[in-house]
Chain A
Amino acid sequence: MPDDLVAVFSDPDAAAAALRQLGAASIHGVRVISPAPYPAVHLTGQPGPWRYLGSIALVGGLTGLAAATALQVVTSRSLNIIVGGKPIVAWPAFGVVMFELTMLFAGIFNFSALVLLSAVARRKVPAAARRLADSERIVVLVPAARLRGGAEATVRAALKHAVEVRS
Chain B
Amino acid sequence: MSDSKITQIERDTLATMSSTSRLYWAGLAGSVILVAIGGWAWSLALRQGLGVLGLNEPVMWGALITTFVFFIGVSHSGTLVSAILYFTRSPLRAAIGRSAEAMTVITILTAGLYPIIHIGRSWLFFFVLAYPNQRQLWPNFRSPLTWDVFAISSYVTVSGLFLYMGMLPDLALLSRRITGWRRPLYRVLSLGFSGTDAEWTLFEKAYPIFAAVVVPLAVSVHSVVSWDFAMSVMPGWHSAIFAPYFVAGAIFSGIAMAILLLSGLRRGYRLEGHIKPAHFDLMAKLLLAMSLVMTFVYLTEFFMAFFRGNAAEIEVFRWRATGSYAWVFWLVMFCNGVAPLACFWRRVRRSLPALIVISVLVSVGMWFERFLFIVTTLAHSYNPANWGHYIPTWPELLICLGGFGWFLMLFLIFVKVFPSMSVAETMQHEHALSLPATGDEAEVTHA
The chain A residues found within 8 Å of chain B, CB to CB, are 10-13, 16, 31-39, 41-42, 44, 46-50, 53-54, 57, 71-72, 75-76, 78-79, 81, 83-84, 86, 90, 93-94, 96-97, 99-101, 103-104, 106-108, 110-111, 113-115, 117-119, 121-122, 124-125, 130, 133-136
Report chain A residues within 8 Å CB of B164.
Answer: 111
Overall SS of chain A's interface: helix
Separation of A96 and B445 alpha carbons in the complex (Å): 34
Taking CB atoms and an 8 Å cut-off, the chain B residues in 172-209 that contact chain A are 173, 176-177, 191-206, 209
B200 in contact with A53 (CB, 8 Å): no
Known A11-B2, A118-B202: A107·B157 in contact at CB below 8 Å: yes
A113 in contact with B196 (CB, 8 Å): no
Report chain B residues within 8 Å CB of A57.
Answer: 209, 213
B147 within 8 Å of A (CB atoms): yes
B194 in contact with A44 (CB, 8 Å): no
B136 within 8 Å of A (CB atoms): yes
B197 in contact with A79 (CB, 8 Å): no
Separation of A94 and B217 alpha carbons in the complex (Å): 16
Which of B7, B173, B227 is A35 in contact with, Cβ under 8 Å?
Answer: B173
Separation of A115 and B210 alpha carbons in the complex (Å): 13
Among the stretches B33-41, B264-272, B315-323, B421-429, the one at the interface with A is B421-429
B216 within 8 Å of A (CB atoms): yes
- Closest residue of chain A to B194, judged by CB? A130
Work out how many contacts link A and B, with CB atoms closer than 8 A: 208
B177 in contact with A135 (CB, 8 Å): yes
The chain B residues found within 8 Å of chain A, CB to CB, are 1-3, 6-7, 10, 130, 136-144, 146-147, 150-151, 153-154, 157-158, 161-162, 164-165, 169, 173, 176-177, 191-206, 209-210, 213-214, 216-217, 220, 224, 227, 423-425, 427-428, 431, 435, 440-441, 445-447
Which of B3, B151, B192 is A136 in contact with, Cβ under 8 Å?
Answer: B3
Report chain B residues within 8 Å CB of A130.
Answer: 194-196
A122 in contact with B210 (CB, 8 Å): no
Apart from the given pairs A78-B138, A79-B136, A97-B146, 5 other A-B contacts in the complex at a CB distance below 8 Å: A32-B197, A110-B210, A118-B202, A122-B192, A122-B196
Which of A111, A113, A118 is B199 in contact with, Cβ under 8 Å?
Answer: A118
Which of B138, B150, B194, B425 is A101 in contact with, Cβ under 8 Å?
Answer: B150
B195 in contact with A34 (CB, 8 Å): yes
A37 in contact with B447 (CB, 8 Å): yes
A75 in contact with B445 (CB, 8 Å): no
Give, as a whole number of angstroms, the nearest-CB distance from A107 to chain B: 4
Separation of A113 and B318 alpha carbons in the complex (Å): 55
Known A53-B209, A72-B141: A97·B202 in contact at CB below 8 Å: no
A104 in contact with B157 (CB, 8 Å): yes
Report chain B residues within 8 Å CB of A110.
Answer: 206, 209-210, 213
Which of B7, B141, B198, B213 is A107 in contact with, Cβ under 8 Å?
Answer: B213
B7 in contact with A136 (CB, 8 Å): yes
Separation of A92 and B205 alpha carbons in the complex (Å): 34
A35 in contact with B197 (CB, 8 Å): no
Separation of A65 and B311 alpha carbons in the complex (Å): 42
B141 in contact with A33 (CB, 8 Å): no
Give, as a whole number of angstroms, the nearest-CB distance from B214 to chain A: 7
Separation of A97 and B206 alpha carbons in the complex (Å): 24
- Find the residue from B147, B200, B216 having the highest chain A CB count within 10 A: B200
- Closest residue of chain A to B9, judged by CB? A135
Separation of A118 and B169 alpha carbons in the complex (Å): 12
- Closest residue of chain A to B10, judged by CB? A135
A84 in contact with B201 (CB, 8 Å): no
Known A76-B138, A119-B192, A135-B173: A104·B154 in contact at CB below 8 Å: yes
Separation of A3 and B25 alpha carbons in the complex (Å): 53
Known A36-B431, A107-B157, A115-B191: A94·B141 in contact at CB below 8 Å: yes
- Closest residue of chain B to A42, judged by CB? B445
Report chain B residues within 8 Å CB of A84.
Answer: 142
Report chain A residues within 8 Å CB of B141.
Answer: 71-72, 75-76, 90, 93-94, 97
- Closest residue of chain B to A94, judged by CB? B141
B173 in contact with A32 (CB, 8 Å): no
- Closest residue of chain A to B426, judged by CB? A36
Give, as a whole number of angstroms, the nearest-CB distance from B153 to chain A: 8
